[in-house]
Amino acid sequence: MQEIDPQKKVADYLVFNIYKDEAQMEADSWKAYPNYAYSHYKNKMSKKNIDKMMSTNPKESARTYVIENIYQTPNYRPQVGDAINMAPMEALNEDYEQFELGFFMPIWSKIIEQGGLRMWGLARVKSSSDNSYKNLTHFVFQNPTGMEYAFEEPTFIEQKVQEMGMASRKMYDMAEMEIIFLAN
């Protein structure tokens, strides 16, 4: 994201809070999070240090995005240790989502069937904090398996549709994340 705004620091951590609906999201409270930290850092960090860490306001330096899942590979369940690639996207026209779901997703589905990925997903940015990157409209997520994979040679028509699809968005540098903690 340095190419968008070199003054902003790259994130050290990403936190995803997943909600079944907006009501559950609105009911979420910061008060529950110290218990997650106590559980995760048990025997690794003292309660006093956790309390000190939790007393700072992370929202001062955090960029917050409310994203809506548009598609995720069915039956994928994240696990601690999974590597997730996240590609920030900027839709350049109103056809972007249709290209992503109608053209690119089937290509990635074949890679999943071949064992090259565990998951492919697309999310839309619904809102964001004042200090966030305002041009981001979507995120594409992938969970690679480490297995090499190859794309089929596109037909002339597929090549032209791919060019149109690539022109419908700007993709920024992909980030690789490792899941280090999950809680329900």
Q: Is the pLDDT of residue 30 over 70?
A: no
Whether the Cβ atoms of residue 118 and residue 73 lie closer than 8 Å to each other: yes
Query: pTM for this structure?
Result: 0.81
Spell out where 34-174 has E strands.
Answer: 65-72, 83-91, 117-128, 138-144, 169-171
- Can you say how many angstroms the Cα of residue 182 is from the centroid of all Cα atoms in its chain? 15
Q: Is the pLDDT of residue 94 over 60?
A: yes
Backbone angles phi, psi at 122, to 5 degrees: -130, 130
Element (H, E) at 178: strand 175-178
SS3 48: helix
Residues 56-84: tens digit of each pLDDT = 665 566 788 889 999 999 999 999 999 99
16-22's contacts with Cβ under 8 Å and 24+ in sequence apart are none
Confidence of residue 33 (pLDDT cuts 50, 70, 90): confident
The pLDDT of residue 84:
95
Distance between CA atoms of 54 and 62, rounded to whole angstroms?
14
141 forms bridges with which residues in the sheet?
86, 121
The pLDDT of residue 3:
62
Confidence of residue 161 (pLDDT cuts 50, 70, 90): very high
Residues 116-148: tens digit of each pLDDT = 999 999 999 998 888 888 899 999 999 999 999
Diameter of the chain measured on Cα atoms: 63
Domains, the chain, ranges and CATH?
14-62 (no CATH), 64-178 (3.30.70)
